[in-house]
Amino acid sequence: MQGHRPTYVEIDLDALRHNLRQVRRQTGEERQILAVVKADAYGHGAARVAPALQDAGAALFGVAIAEAGVELRGAGVTRPVLVLGGVYPGQEGELLRHRLTPCLFDLETAKRIDRAARSAGQVCPYHLKVDTGMGRIGFRPEELPGVLPGLAGMKGLRMEGLISHLALADEPQNPFTEEQARRFREILAEVRAAGFAPQHAHISNSAALFTREIPECNVVRPGIVLYGGQPLASGPGLDLQPVMSFRSRVAQLKEVPAGTGISYGHRFVAERPTVLAAIPVGYADGYSRHLSGCGEVLVRGRRATVAGTVCMDWTLVDVTDIPGVGVGDEVTLLGRDNGSRITAEEWAGKTGTISYEVFCQVSKRVPRIYRDGRR
Ligand SMILES: *Cc1c(COP(=O)(O)O)cnc(C)c1O
């Protein structure tokens, strides 16, 4: 199909590189950056984002599912790709063929991959996932004495890294992060004493980047900061640039008299003669239905409020107070317009979520358009 609907997402690869440089500046040269590009690079499009980050110096990549790792290989990512989530029965062959690195957190999976690796004549590098207090996945510290000898005997596997995840890094005052770091250091020593030599040790997500130094860790795993999201509600932050803008255009304008009910349920009733703009974006695009009646968009650099219920494919906004609005005018749902800006954090605050979910929710039917000052 030639052209597309006026609703699209713009991804600024220069802003992405800027954010990576900020992370680099924060962590110093001695740590490697594992760029987390799971969930299609938080909705930004991993096939474009990951190669750009690779060129800009990201040393490793993290995805949640093996399928996403295969996609990265197809997009030209040659650096190690860590599968942060599980590897499920039947995926071993693809994993090995594409040289993806599993995180192992149970012996059954380890055995399956070991078997597949040996029969392929390979040694599969893996990162051992340990649960230091997130309480999600990972071997628990007390299991390790029983597990490590078994892993040592698997000749198709080689421990290349040790990984854990922080539960409370976004609460810089919370002492639990220190406790997790302490457990992690102990486990690292235990693993080394058992004869393993993991080159990589890592526990820090974005929030931990500028609140904790964990000297044993030589890799950091930023996600949200690469996309311009601040991981802490307040306190220290990085000089980040938003990467994603979400835009559409006014499809139709109408003037209605006071008393007119608008959209499903007539949850908006005009209190005055009102000018409404219909925008071809809805919750099927990821424009949350929770923005009904409270979301704000930018038109001609000014804020306009969502009138009534957000529909699957349409949203109405009240532009009565913005002079001169015309059909075809650009509408910014997320991002900058002239001097104004709608941030993912603002949007998330209205829908009861976090910026991460705002980005991930932008659906596949919204085309991503990439801006790259280098090309
Ligand atoms: C998502 C994720 C990250 C990145 O988290 P951010 O808060 O986006 O920096 C790091 N490590 C693991 C294991 C993750 O699942």
pLDDT tens across 251-266, in order?
A: 999 999 999 999 999 9
User: For position 231, what pLDDT does the model report?
Assistant: 86
User: For position 232, what pLDDT does the model report?
Assistant: 85
User: For position 215, what pLDDT does the model report?
Assistant: 82
Pocket of ligand 1 (CB under 6 A): 36, 38, 84, 165, 205-207, 221-224, 231
188 Cα–ligand 1 center, Å: 20
> Does residue 30 surpass a pLDDT of 60?
yes
Q: For residue 273, count other CB atoms closer than 10 A to its CB.
A: 12
Across 340-357, average pLDDT: 96
pLDDT, tens only, 152-183? 999 999 999 999 999 999 998 899 999 999 99
> Does residue 212 surpass a pLDDT of 80?
no
Q: What are phi and psi of 361, to 5 degrees?
A: -80, -20
**233 versus 80: which is more confidently predicted?**
80
pLDDT, tens only, 298-343? 999 999 999 999 999 999 999 999 999 999 999 999 999 999 999 9
Among 38, 81, 83, 221, the mutation site with the greatest number of ligand 1 atoms within 8 A of its Cβ is 221
Across 85-112, average pLDDT: 97
Q: Of 38, 42, 129, 283, which residue is the catalytic one? A: 38
Question: Which residue shows structure tokens 């800006």?
Answer: 341
> Does residue 65 surpass a pLDDT of 60?
yes
Closest ligand 1 atom, CA of 356? Answer: 8
Would residue 264 show up in a list of annotated catalytic residues for this protein?
Answer: yes
User: For position 206, what pLDDT does the model report?
Assistant: 94
Closest ligand 1 atom, CA of 84? Answer: 13
Closest ligand 1 atom, CA of 34? Answer: 10
pLDDT band at 1 (very low <50, low <70, confident <90, very high): low
Would residue 42 show up in a list of annotated catalytic residues for this protein?
Answer: no
Across 188-204, average pLDDT: 97
**173 versus 53: which is more confidently predicted?**
53
Among 83, 84, 130, the mutation site with the greatest number of ligand 1 atoms within 8 A of its Cβ is 84
Domains of the chain by residue range: 13-227, 244-342
Q: Of 88, 254, 264, 364, which residue is the catalytic one? A: 264
256 Cα–ligand 1 center, Å: 48
Taking CA 222 as the corner, what is the angle to CA 235 and CA 374, rounded to the nearest 5 degrees?
Answer: 105
Across 234-252, average pLDDT: 91
279 Cα–ligand 1 center, Å: 34
User: For position 348, what pLDDT does the model report?
Assistant: 96
User: For position 211, what pLDDT does the model report?
Assistant: 67
13-227 folds as TIM Barrel (3.20.20)
Residue nearest to atom 6 of ligand 1 (CA): 223
Give percent of the chain above pLDDT 90.
92
> Does residue 216 surpass a pLDDT of 90?
no
Closest ligand 1 atom, CA of 42? Answer: 8
- The matching CATH number, chosen from 2.40.37.10, 3.20.20.150, 2.120.10.30, 3.40.50.10740, for 244-342 is 2.40.37.10
C-alpha 251/C-alpha 330 separation (Å) is 10
CA-to-CA separations, 309 to 270, 278, 330, 353, in angstroms, rounded: 14, 12, 21, 19
pLDDT band at 148 (very low <50, low <70, confident <90, very high): very high
203 Cα–ligand 1 center, Å: 9
- The SS3 of residue 150 is helix
Mark 146-165 as b/e (b = at least 16 C-beta within 10 Å). Answer: ebbeebeebebbebbbbbbb
> Does residue 2 surpass a pLDDT of 60?
no
Across 347-364, average pLDDT: 97
165 Cα–ligand 1 center, Å: 8
